[in-house]
Amino acid sequence: VSAGPPPIGAAELAVRIQPLAGSVYVALLAPENAIAGLVAEVVSELRALDEGLPAHQLSPASAASLLHELPSVAGGALVVDAGEFVEADWRVLDRRRSDLGREGVTVFVTTPASFDVLMRVAPNFASWLGGQVFTWDEAAGAASPEQIAERLASLRAWGAPMTDAEVIAQAQAGTLPRDPEYAEWLVLLGRGDLVS
Amino acid sequence: VSVEAAGQPARVGVADLVAHRDDLRDVRAEQLDRGAGVAGLVLQHRVDRLRPAVLRAFVHDVVAARVRDLRGQALARHPVAERVDVDVAAREHVLVEQLEQPLALEARRERRRAPGASAEKARGRGVARGRDGPFVPARASAAVQLRRMSQPDLAPPTVEDRLARFRAMMAKLDATGDPARALERELYVTFPGAVGAKIAGRLELRPASTHLVVGGVGSGKTTELLQVRARLSSVPDTKAIYIDVTRQHDIARMGPGVVALQAALAIASFVTESIESRGEPSALVEIAATALRRLAHGYHYDPERDYYDTDVAYREGALKPPDQMTGVSAEALGELRPLLESPGAAGARLVVLLDGLDRLSDVEVFQQIVDDDVNGLASLGIGVVLIGPLKCLYRSERVMVESFDYWHHQPWRDPEVGNAERFLTDVVRRRLTADELDDASLLPLVRQSGGVLRDLIALAQLACEEAYVDGADRVGRPHVEAAADAFGRKHVIGLQADEIEILQRVRSTGSFVQTSETDLALLMTRRVLEYASGAGAASRYAVHPTIEPLLRQMAGEAT
């Protein structure tokens, strides 16, 4: 099948993870050489989104190490560098999935090849992932200039007769209504700094 | 009403806020914090990193959360909503400002709302937005919401904080969480003739009977086991103990004795607690419990000292009775006997509910466990319910089910059959209301799950996620479709050519014969779903609905 898991950037993944509650398991597939950086990026995105949401990262050498370290990780989001996990590791997680249980979102960042193995040897663990499997694509989240222009046009129509300059001026003066649309307008104008 | 000096809070009413706007404005001018907002900088950082729809939803949530914080600051100081404290040292100037012209603001929104949208929607819940539909403000402005909160005679505010709302929805969709928690939260839906009810009924009549439960991954076996425990807890003389045997022992090193030992340890805890609660300590019970703990976890001893050295040698007999147990099973059950005869267990009918052995890949080991541990426990009058590998139902392994008094198949619920469809929709509705997942999306969601309970919850969760990033206020058909697509894409990963060939055959003909390991693997992984059609009738087979479009695509058919 040509279609793999849906593409996603680190920022959007963080936004998606934010509302998840309970024990949720997510897989993010990425090239091996990008995994370490991606783990850190997802963690920083999560922390920027919600300072109150603990975000941790682990780079275990094996699944056994992960299970050993897991009890010391508090609740909240956990991003695991599973780029070097092989068949034996996925089998361990499959057998010991009860030990993997934790409160919060756990993101496994691994390679497509490693995930392919997971799907063949770890049916129990795979079922825990549900449909939460994505392929990392750095460009997946970028809005095109055309999309931004289109959205700005919608906002201008909504806010008329207010102009871009008036929105910025009112924001600077602290008199801009606190409607989310105005905040979005400011952000798309490149003045997100005025949203307070 | 008067506003005190800057830095000092003043208590004023809503109407007064408007009347004294000029005074407040003066104060505000002195206190206004014009520093750049951290939240705004975070937003700006994402402008080129999120899809427009996601960015829109995200911006709205950030602002909504900020308004909520500000409103919280104001209302926290005021016990009744019709009054607001104005603390000029804080940042509540924003609220004051928005209170000045709520009616005008609402009127302006009314004029701008989409043609055909109801006034109620425009004021309250927001106007639904399609992915590519016309832009319409999604919810009433903060000012309008605040005014409603501030005036009890108006309708209560709608939930403005989407993030909090979606988090609450997601919390009810914990597909991989502890099933016990779902039961506590009353999310369990009873299916007529459910396995748990059948087993509990049998055990009420025959407490020492043995039961094997088999079913696919995510079919709800553990939940049924917990249901058995819950039901038996109301039977006065029966004690049902749940044990996940993979918690204390690596299932890869499972062998005879391990299960009996874990059951014995759990029973020892029960008996010890029972004796202590009566204030009747028993040395015999303590000795047996200690021996079991030593057997389980090891102990230190002096190898130079041999307590049993009597200078008399023993020669093993040549005859080996077929039912004679040896090793850990025999030791564990031997230590269990005095516990069962103690006052702590007097009159109690014990049942152990053993979970986790469905993950055992070696059926020969499973057979040994049944022969030694299960039969051993049963011989002591202990009821046993055991979750076993799905393989036990197929091929030559099927003979294994004969080792039990009863065996039960926890099947998938065929979503195309009336009572199963009702059951599955009830499962969803117990978690999500029609305000959270619209009625038109319910049946498609159920159908896409294939009747697999865990997949149903997982799909609902994923659909909620899609709705959240789409900026929608509730889950609709496009979100269910997106969730099913993502699920299917994941579900085909790892398939080999021969497996795809089988799946295509099942898809096109419904024909499936479980002969090879490959066939069984497809059943185990829920790519092929087997629906029991009732006593004596042949099973129906289908591929998981989420992968069907992908299989069509692979076959070059129109989807």
Nearest to B52 among A97, A133, A147 (CB): A147
Helix (H, G, I), strand (E, B) or coil at B349: strand
* Rounded CA separation B38/B59 (Å): 13
The band of B309, judged by pLDDT with boundaries at 50, 70 and 90, is low
Phi, psi of B526 (to 5 degrees): 65, 20
- Which of B50, B61, B554 minimises the CB distance to A1? B554
Q: Specify the pairing of strand B349-355 against strand B238-244.
A: parallel
Residue B143 Cα distances to B59, B78, B101, angstroms: 17, 18, 8
* Cβ contacts of A180 on chain B, cutoff 8 Å: 59-64, 138
The alpha-carbon radius of gyration of chain B (Å, integer) is: 32
| Mean per-residue pLDDT over chain A, rounded | 88
Output the pLDDT for position B538. Answer: 78
Separation of alpha carbons B41 and B402, rounded Å: 67
Q: How far away is chain B from the Cα of A78, in angstroms, using its nearest Cα?
A: 16
**Gap between the Cα atoms of B139 and A162, Å rounded:** 20
How many other CB atoms are found less than 10 A from the CB of residue B206? 14
Terminal-residue alpha carbon distance, chain A: 47
Say yes or no: A72 contacts chain B, CB-CB below 8 A. no
Distances (CA, A) of A147 to B37, B47, B483: 25, 11, 24
Of A5, A147, A175, the CB nearest to B97: A175
B436 or A185, which is more confident? B436
Transcribe B426-492 into DSSP letters: HHHHTT--TTTB-HHHHHHHHHHHTT-HHHHHHHHHHHHHHHHHTT-SSB-HHHHHHHHHHHHHHHT
Q: Indicate yes or no: CB of B40 within 8 angstroms of CB of A115.
A: no
Closest partner CB to B489 (pick from A3, A92, A188): A3
Which chain B residue has its CA at the smallest distance from A187's CA? B44
Between these two residues, B320 and B347, which has the higher pLDDT value?
B347
- Please, which pLDDT band fits residue A93 given cuts at 50, 70 and 90? very high
Of B32, B143, B525, the CB nearest to A174: B32
More confident: A169 or B307? A169
Which range, of A1-5, B14-18, B359-363, averages the lowest pLDDT? B14-18
Spatial CA neighbour of B495 closest among B553, B454, B551, B556: B551
Given a cut of 90, is residue A143 above it in pLDDT?
no
Q: How far apart are CA B182 and CA B188, in angstroms?
A: 7
Q: Closest to B54 (Cβ–Cβ): which among A15, A134, A181?
A: A15
The residue of chain B with its CA nearest to that of A106 is B176
Give yes or no for residue A177 having a pLDDT over 60: yes
Chain B neighbors of A130, CB-CB under 8 A = 175-176, 454-455, 457-459, 461-462, 487
Least confident range from B100-104, B285-289, B530-534: namely B100-104
Enter the DSSP assignment of B122.
Answer: I
Nearest CA in chain B to A24: B176
Mean pLDDT over B484-506 rounds to 94
Give the residue from B175, B214, B72, B92 showing the smallest Cα distance to A126. Answer: B175
More confident residue, B454 or B152: B454
- What integer best gives the mean pLDDT of chain B? 75
Chain A residue with CA closest to B33: the answer is A174
Express as a percent the part of chain B with pLDDT over 70: 69
Which B residues, 228 through 287, put their C-beta within 8 Å of a C-beta on chain A? 244, 246-247, 250-252
From residue B557, give the alpha-carbon distance in Å to each of B118, B311, B498: 43, 82, 19
C-alpha dihedral (B132, B133, B139, B141), degrees to nearest 10: 90
User: Comparing B558 with B239, which gets the higher pLDDT?
Assistant: B239
Q: Which two tokens stand for residue B119?
A: 């006034």
Q: What is the DSSP letter of A39?
A: H
Amino acid at site A167: V
B364 near A CB under 8 A: no
Contacts of B169 (CB under 8 A, 6+ apart): A19, B431, B432, B436, B464
pLDDT over 70 (residue B364):
yes
Pairs from B535-540 (Cβ < 8 Å, separation ≥ 24): B540/B414, B540/B510
Query: What percentage of chain A reaches a pLDDT higher than 90?
Result: 49
**Cβ under 8 Å to B: A residues 11-30:** 11-12, 15-16, 18-25, 27
List the A104-110 sheet strands across, edge first.
Answer: A7-8, A133-136, A23-29, A104-110, A77-81, A55-58
Query: Rounded to an integer, what distance in angstroms lies between the CA atom of residue B340 and that of residue B78?
Result: 62
Residues of B in contact with A95 (CB under 8 A): 246, 250-252, 359
Chain A neighbors of B391, CB-CB under 8 A = none
Radius of gyration of chain A (CA): 21
Q: Which of A127, A154, A175, A193 to mutate: most B Cβ within 10 Å?
A: A127
CB contact under 8 A, B553 and A3: yes
Residues B63-75: what's their mean pLDDT? 60
State the pairing for strand pair A7-8/A55-58: unpaired
Residue B293, classed as helix, strand or coil, is: helix
**Confidence at residue B307, expressed as pLDDT on a 0 to 100 scale:** 59
Confidence grade of residue B57 (pLDDT, cut at 50, 70, 90)? confident
Whether residue B157 is predicted with pLDDT greater than 50 in this model: the reply is no
Taking the C-alpha atoms of residue A16 and residue B53, their distance in angstroms, rounded to an integer, is 13
Distance from CA of B132 to the nearest CA of A (A): 11
Q: What percent of chain B has pLDDT over 90?
A: 33
A71 touches chain B (CB under 8 A): no
Residues near B330 by beta carbon (within 8 Å), at least 6 away in sequence = B257, B324, B376
Which residue(s) pair with A57 in the sheet? A79
- Considering only CB atoms, A193 lies closest to which of B28, B41, B468, namely B41
Query: CB count, 10 Å around CB of A163?
Result: 11
Chain B segment 19-38 residues within 8 A of A by beta carbon are 28, 32-37
Side-chain-facing half-sphere of B178: CA atoms under 13 Å = 10
pLDDT digits (tens, 9 = 90+) for B220-253: 899 999 999 999 999 888 999 999 998 888 888 8
CA distance B96 to B23: 11
Contact, B452 vs B542, CB < 8 A? no
> ∠ at Cα B396 (B390, B402), nearest 5°?
75
- The nearest alpha carbon in chain B to A1 belongs to B554
The answer to whether B303 faces chain A, any CB pair under 8 Å, is no
Confidence of residue B192 (pLDDT cuts 50, 70, 90): confident
CB B335 within 8 A of CB B264: yes
CA separation (Å) from B543 to B84, B229, B393, B452, B532? 60, 34, 19, 12, 15
Question: Which residues on chain B are in Cβ contact (under 8 Å) with A49?
Answer: 42
Q: Which of B18-27, B74-83, B133-142, B422-431 shows the lowest per-residue confidence on average (mean pLDDT)?
A: B133-142
A53 in B contact zone (CB under 8 Å):
no
- What distance in Å separates the CA atoms of residue B543 and residue B328, rounded to the nearest whole number? 43
At residue B388, what is the residue type?
A: G
Contact B52 A179 (CB under 8 A): no
Q: What ipTM was reported for this prediction?
A: 0.86
Nearest residue, CB atoms, A22 vs list B51, B170, B524: B170
* Cβ of residue A37 closer than 8 Å to a chain B Cβ: no
Which of A9, A20, A94 is closest, CB to CB, to B359? A94
| Minimum Cα–Cα distance from A25: chain B residue | B176
Distance of alpha carbon B200 from alpha carbon B213, whole angstroms: 13
User: What is the structure's pLDDT at B134?
Assistant: 31
- What lies within 8 Å, CB to CB, of B336 at 6+ separation is B260, B263, B264, B267, B268, B288, B292, B380
Can you read off the two tokens belonging to residue B50?
């999120």
Which residues from chain A sit within 8 angstroms of residue B251, using beta carbons? 95-96
Give the residues across from A28 on adjacent strands. A109, A134
First to last CA, chain B: 69
